[in-house]
Amino acid sequence: MRAERGLCGVVAEPRGGSHHRLQRENTYAASRTEARLRAELERPLKQISRQVRALKQSPQA
């Protein structure tokens, strides 16, 4: 009964999507003001970009 009401930290499935969206929005808002967090979020994107660039520049075998 308590889990249905969300009292023990369990989010009901229909509300799970909105909870994750709210978490993403909060992270984005915080990253606009905190340089460390912004750099932490950009790091994986930069790594992917570097890998794609390296693949494009490598000679085709």
Q: Give domain status of residue 24, yes or no.
A: yes
What pLDDT sits at residue 58? 85
Q: Give domain status of residue 26, yes or no.
A: yes
Instruction: State the DSSP string of 1-55.
Output: -HHHHTTTSPPPHHHHHHHHHHHHHHHHHHHHH-HHHHHHHHHHHHHHHHHHHHH
Q: Is 57's pLDDT higher than 60?
A: yes
State which residues form the domain around 41.
16-57
* Sequence-ordered list of residues with C-beta below 8 angstroms from that of 31, at least 6 positions apart, any chain: 37, 38, 41
Q: What is the pTM of this model?
A: 0.52
Q: Give domain status of residue 7, yes or no.
A: no
Q: Give domain status of residue 51, yes or no.
A: yes
Q: Give domain status of residue 11, yes or no.
A: no
Higher pLDDT, 46 or 1: 46
Q: Give domain status of residue 31, yes or no.
A: yes
Number of domains forming the structure of the chain: 1
Over its C-alpha atoms, the chain yields an Rg (Å, rounded) of 19
At residue 61, the 3 state secondary structure works out as coil
Q: Give domain status of residue 4, yes or no.
A: no
